[in-house]
């Protein structure tokens, strides 16, 4: 099958309904054992950079190079939900909270949302498309995907300086071997998601 690249098909369809402020919405960080979940809302106001795609399909170097280009052609908003909020709410509801904060952070609220995935947050009260693999189908969502990923990765690098030994600058908080070794040697930090099974098990064993 030919490779699918994101385009403006969804944005054009939304515009035909009369929408003017069409925003792509994506998140990153549902699976890691530590750190926040981060969302980005992005509205293209100029031509998208060449090569823009789902953040997972780009190298870290390419994503970083894309950031200033995206900030020059997008209006953006960011939102986060902390590990503490993830534990209090559950990861699904915390993800929806981060998304809501990202939309609220925009210069102007959207009148149409293009949401990555298959789970529409209950707070969404404007027309929307919920798009499976939207980050590889919509340029607005792809922009949000790259910006959310680079922002979260940068945050995890900063946390790695405060809590060395877990490899967060390399694994972004996912449960890699280095992270598991760090938990054995240094224990659970305030940035770990205590409701996640691997962390909860450690706490039960040490409690």
Q: Binding site for a divalent metal cation: what residues are annotated?
A: 26-27, 116
Q: Rounded CA gap, 131 and 120, in Å?
A: 10
Beta bridge partners of 112: 22
DSSP 20-46: --EEEEEEE-SS-SBS-EEEEEEEE-S
Q: For the chain, what is the radius of gyration of the CA atoms?
A: 18
Q: What is the three-class DSSP state of 1?
A: coil
Q: Rounded CA gap, 80 and 152, in Å?
A: 9
CA distances from 46 to 49, 69, 73, 115, 189 (A): 9, 10, 5, 20, 42
Query: Cα–chain-centroid distance for residue 122?
Result: 18
Q: Rounded CA gap, 67 and 6, in Å?
A: 17
Query: Cα–chain-centroid distance for residue 39?
Result: 4
Q: What is the three-class DSSP state of 18?
A: coil
**Greatest C-alpha distance within the chain:** 58
CB atoms within 10 A of CB 112: 22
Question: Which residues are known binding-site members?
Answer: 26-27, 116
């Amino acid at each position: 099958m030919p490779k699918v690249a994101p385009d403006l098909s969804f944005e054009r369809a939304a515009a035909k309904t009369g929408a003017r402020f069409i925003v792509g919405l994506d998140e990153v960080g549902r699976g890691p054992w530590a750190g926040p979940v981060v969302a980005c809302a992005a509205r293209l106001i100029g031509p998208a950079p060449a090569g823009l795609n789902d953040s997972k399909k780009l190298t870290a170097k390419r994503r970083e190079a894309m950031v200033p280009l995206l900030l020059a052609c997008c209006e953006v908003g960011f939102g986060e939900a902390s590990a503490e909020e993830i534990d209090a709410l559950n990861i699904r509801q915390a993800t929806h909270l981060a998304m809501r904060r990202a939309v609220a952070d925009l210069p102007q609220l959207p009148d149409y949302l293009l949401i990555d995935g298959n789970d529409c947050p209950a707070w969404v009260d404007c027309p929307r498309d919920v798009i499976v693999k939207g980050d590889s189908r919509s340029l607005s969502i792809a922009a949000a995907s790259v910006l959310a990923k680079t922002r979260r990765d940068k945050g995890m690098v900063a946390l790695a300086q405060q809590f060395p030994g877990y490899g967060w600058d390399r694994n972004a908080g996912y449960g890699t071997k280095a992270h598991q070794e760090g938990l054995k040697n240094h224990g659970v930090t305030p940035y770990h998601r205590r409701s996640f099974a691997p962390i909860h098990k450690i706490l039960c064993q040490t409690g």
